[in-house]
Structure 1
Amino acid sequence: MKKYMYLWFILMFSFGLYAQEQQLYNENIDGKQQLANAIMEAQKSQKHILVQVGGNWCPWCIKFHKFITNMTSIDSIIKANYIYVPLNYSRENKNTEALKQLEYPQRFGFPVLVILDAGGKRIHTQDSGLLEKGNNYDTAKVVTFLKQWTPKALNPSNYEKN
């Protein structure tokens, strides 16, 4: 009997850890407020905003988040240049007003990535399917995408002759 109780405890604990790990998106947060907070932070830090729209129901959304946080080269690009926002889209909370503000990126499927400047203006929407390779994401494609939309990359003084 003790063996079964022990086994049951291990299984329940494992499922609990799995469920916690999957909660990237908070379904209770107002997306418009989330964006407003990110804009304030971006203005202070002079960074752009990387919004990852998706949900805990979406395996590719979770996979993308793990990919960008576990890959040191990508994580460092994001931390240096972006305020990262995981914006929830689910049956319970579609964040309709936030998606309207982002100019309806859900048309690309999920996850979809939206780059905002520090003032909150949308400057790019990225279909994440174009960043995939096989059953994962392509490091070179993701790095190129992130580098192309940094504040430095969009600074006109980098392209004008003196």
Structure 2
Amino acid sequence: MKKIPKNIALLGFLLIGSLVSAQNTNEIPPVKKSDDKALIVKTDHQELEAKKKAAEEKAKLPKPYDPKANAENDIEKLISKAKKENKNIMIQAGGNWCIWCLRFNQYVQTTPELKKLVDDNYLYYHLNYSPENKNEKVFGKYGNPGDEFGYPVFIVLDGNGKMIHVQKSDVLEEGKGYSFEKVKEFFDTWTTKS
């Protein structure tokens, strides 16, 4: 066993003594164990409620991602079609597990001005990323943007299949949804007409 130098031992006793003295004079409020437990229980309850609400919302939203799709083949077909139609390709990468991915899809599909803007100017594709199919080859081709930005992430291709922009989605969010102005500006910026 190591010997503790007398100065360090004395300093330790003085420190402990001053803390006990301070607590006895009410300078340091005592910790209430029951308050800590109540806070933990309340926080756990709030987290469970939030998860339950998110699961209920997710169950109601359409599931646009197909884990069984051959994404590489699908995108090649879109490139061929995009050339003919003079449109760009908007790839929304994510999965049916991602509440923000589903929210974005629902928002665009149910907002007439955004839906028209997309339909008139883009060929739209939902690129699946999930445990069943990570589409590693396709994501690798575009620099794996989900690794950096999370999901959803948007990959914009021109009519020749060249990647011209990657957009993270959090800058398009507002509250628990998306900002109409920000989403519209994003779509307007990457059309072939701009």
- 2:185 is matched with 144
Q: Does 2:111 correspond to 1:93?
A: no
Q: Does 2:80 correspond to 1:44?
A: no
Q: How does 1:1-162 map to 2 (within 5 A)?
A: 21-106=61-146, 107-153=148-194
2:100–2:151 contact (8 Å) kept in structure 1: yes
1:51–1:87 contact (8 Å) kept in structure 2: yes
Amino acid at match of 2:161: G
Instruction: Output one character per residue of 1:98-127: Cα deviation in whole Å (capped at 9) or x when no partner.
Output: 111222111210000111000000000000
Q: Relative CO higher for 1 or 2, CA cutoff 8 Å, sep ≥ 6?
A: 1
Percent identical pairs in the alignment equals: 37
What TM-score does the superposition give when structure 2 sets the normalisation length?
0.67
Cα shift at 1:23: 2.3
Matches of 1:51 and 1:102, distance apart in 2: 11
Amino acid at match of 1:127: K
Matches of 1:47 and 1:108, distance apart in 2: 25
Instruction: Output one character per residue of 1:45-74: Cα deviation in whole Å (capped at 9) or x when no partner.
Output: 110000000000001000000011111111
Runs of 4+ with deviation above 2 angstroms = 18-23
Give unpaired runs (5+ residues) of structure 1: 1-17, 154-162
What TM-score does the superposition give when structure 1 sets the normalisation length?
0.80
Give unpaired runs (5+ residues) of structure 2: 1-57
Matches of 2:158 and 2:167, distance apart in 1: 15
1:20 and 1:32, CA in 2 relative to 1: closer, same or farther beyond 3 A? Answer: farther
In the comparison of the two structures, how many residue pairs are matched? 136
Amino acid at match of 1:133: E
User: Secondary structure of the equivalent of 2:96?
Assistant: coil
Amino acid at match of 2:94: G
1:35–1:98 contact (8 Å) kept in structure 2: no
1:68–1:74 contact (8 Å) kept in structure 2: yes
Matches of 1:111 and 1:83, distance apart in 2: 17
1:25–1:56 contact (8 Å) kept in structure 2: yes
Amino acid at match of 1:99: F
